[in-house]
Structure formats: structure tokens, C-alpha cells
Structure 1
């Protein structure tokens, strides 16, 4: 196949999770339900935190930001997928694909950074309780979110600009339900060595770095909890971290599982199906984890 000029490309084809027509109504209903639960659950967390003055603390400030990111994260992919199923079309424009890829990458990385910032917040609260209000002041909290957003935006912009330089063949089928960065790079006809190198380096840097920070924070937290003499004190300290630790385990566990399984199999549709876990299921479960394991959120939701 002959490469074509990038400016001549007008659209890609998203093959979705399954190409079987009889499964499309089931997939549509399932994803619509999960999307609505995700948006509603995270929106309730945001409303509960904003409406209850008792929750105007750094921990819940970061939680509301995490819920907002989760809503945006799923909104970059699911509505387009549902629209394609409804119209029985697989088309996404070239500009739409690049835009979707940018925002998907942006919110995925930002989600990672917010989880890291929340781990740091718990570290300060448990390991340095007397200095907590001084260290985690409102200015620092806003600065941490701003820096996280800026780094995520630069990361996504870099990948998008790297993709813009690629040329593509006449086969423009993406075996996924959204324009996933690796899949778009994979179907390019031109040399993708720099793109692959950039993807691998930034994944290690922006994925491994925050994960190392989270592990370090929780190692210090665990040491501090073990030093607490009373069992009640230990339980109270650990309960403030339990929800966040569950979300971190779910996010990183599913993400690593998907990428390891993708590396082990050549079936692109299997990879697309597996990616549903961290793109849809994880953001949907986060509000339940925080509301079920956090008495402050429960009370705020009841008042709301």
C-alpha cells in the first residue's frame, strides 16, 4: 500500500469491541449504563464535597478533582462509541481522532497525578499531623493540581504533535473503540521509532515516577501506623487511607494487567475489551469505594 499525504486523510474507522451486529445492542446498553453510573456517582461526590463545609479540606478537595477528572476521562471515549453504535457507523474524523487521543491521554495522566497528590496528602496527615494545616494549605493544594494539569497537558501535546508528523496507508482501521495512542501509531506507514521511544520513555517517567512516590508515601504511612500504641488509633489512621489505597490498587492493578496482557497477546480486540476495565469500570467504581468506606462522605450524601 502506498503512503498518502497526511492532509488527504479525512477519517479513521473505529472497529470497536466486537464487529458482530447481534452484540451491538447489548454493548450499547451496557456501556450507556456504566457511563451514566460513572457520571452520576462522581457528580454526587463533587456536589457532596462542595455543599458540606465539613468537607472543605485538602483530602476532599483532591477527591472532588479526581471525580471531575473521572467524568471527563470517560466522556472522551464513551459518547463517541455510543454514537457510532446508534448510527451504525464506525467513522471518526481525523481531527476528531487526534482531539480524542489528546484529551484521553491528558485525563489518564492527570488521574495518575491526582492519585499521587492524594497519597502525599495522606502522608503529611499521618506522618506530620501537627504541621498538616501549615503544609497542606489551600495555596499548595491549588498549586499541586495546577502543576499536575500543566504536566499532563504538555505530555498530551507532545504525543499529539508526534502523531501529526506521521503518514498513513489506505488501511485506516483502528481495532479499538477509541483512538488509543498506541493503536494510532501502529497503523502508520512512516517510521514510528521516535513515537514508540517517546511513548515508552514517558510511560516509565510519568507512570513509574508517581507510582514510586505512592509506594514511598505508604511505606512511611505504614511505619507511622505501626508506631501508634493503641489498636483504635491504628484503625482510625488506616481508615483515612483505606479508600484511597483501594482506588490506587484498582487503577494501577487494572492498567498494568491490561498492558501486560496486551503485550502477551496479538489479538487487538482482546486488548480493546481489556482496556474497558481501566477506562470505564475503574472510574465507575471510585465513587462507590469512597462513599461506602468513608463516613464523612456518607453523611454528606445523606444531607445532600
Structure 2
């Protein structure tokens, strides 16, 4: 019983010595966890802006963490932007034809701040081909510190709707196009010069294909033959925000690919 007070004081001193160590470890572990998740708090953003002389792409990385983040790149190529049309053909790539320095570079983004890169697709309004395009932007850091991030987490896609240029809506297979209607009820007519008098069309907003059908004309190529069809969409199918397009095309007898796509904007919803 005489040793109890000594044992009590020994345990008290031991606890006082151990507690700061555990507290420091806890703080270090918490800081490590926060740093380890910094990568997941980087948010890529893509903004597409149409101008008279082309399309501007603003690619942004926002830092939503509580730390300054450093992105390390193997060269001066830090990002890329590509544009794909509805037939899966790449019509623009920012990096094409460009020369990049092979020297390693770094970009620092402070907590709560962002870094902006810009790409430009120079295409005059008169030369624009109407249609719905898929825009892909990707960032290629080799390392992010503190923390880490998977490359696919810094890749994103947006839809670009191009209106027709100053010229008439036509190509080698379709001409004299007229359309009318609104709110899901439309009528499209024109002339087609297609193989075996057969062509197809889709109605889409860039995300969803609402209609995909085949049509026949009275006569095949090389003759021009008239056509006309109606489009009927329910109110529930109409996009809340975006442009509804009809795309005319035919399937190539050589490889089955969509050919001579002609995109016509039917109605824009806002």
C-alpha cells in the first residue's frame, strides 16, 4: 500500500510524456490525409466561346484544397484540346503542328485559386459547318504535389453546337433545305442526291439521339430528287438547355461510314 502513491505519480508522468507524442502523430496523420486528397480537390473546367473569327477554348484547373499545389510537366505541352464531329472524325486538335520544348516545367496554383490555359480554333463564320461537336480537354501533369491524381481525373468533355455559316445549307448530297415548326413538331424538306436513293437522319441535342430513321427518294444519284419528312417529339424529350439539330447523311457503300453529314439547327432552348 505504501507504493501506491509512487505508482500513481509514475503513471501520471508517463501519460504526460506520451500524450504530446500521440497528439503530434495525430496532427501529422491528419495533415497527411489532407495532403493526400489534394489531387482529388483539383477541378478541371472547360469553357467554349464562339467568336466571329473562331472558337476559344478556356481550360482551367481550380484548386479547391487548403494548400498550394504544384503541377510538374515533362514538357511545355501541359494540356490539349480536340474537337470531334458527329461521324467521330477529329476536325481540330490544339497540339497539331505545334513544337513543344522538352524541358520540364512547373505550375503552382495557390489554395482557392486557378490557372487558365487558352486554345483557339480559327475558323471564319462563313466556313463553319453546322453541327454538334464533342470537345475533349485533357491536362498531362507527370506529378502533383502534395498528393497525387489520376490522369483521367483531369480530362473532361463538353458539347459544341455550331450554327451554319453565311452560305446556304448544302453539300454534295443535300441542297435546297427548308424546315419549319417548333416545340417538337418540325417539317424538313429538300433535295438529295444519294446512292440507291437512300439516306438517313438523326435528331439530337449532342447528348441524346431522339430520332434515327432512314428515308427514300424517288430517284438515286446522280439525279437530284425531292424529299420531305416530319419530326414529332414529345414535350418530355425536348432539351431544357441546348440546340436541337437534325443531321442528314447517307452510309457510304464502301465502308459503311456516315458520309456528307449536313447538320441543321431546328430550335434552341434556354
TM (norm. structure 2) is 0.25
Q: Which has the higher helix share?
A: 1
Question: Could you tell me the TM-score, scaled by structure 1's length?
Answer: 0.23
More strand by share: 2
Structure of greater Rg: 2
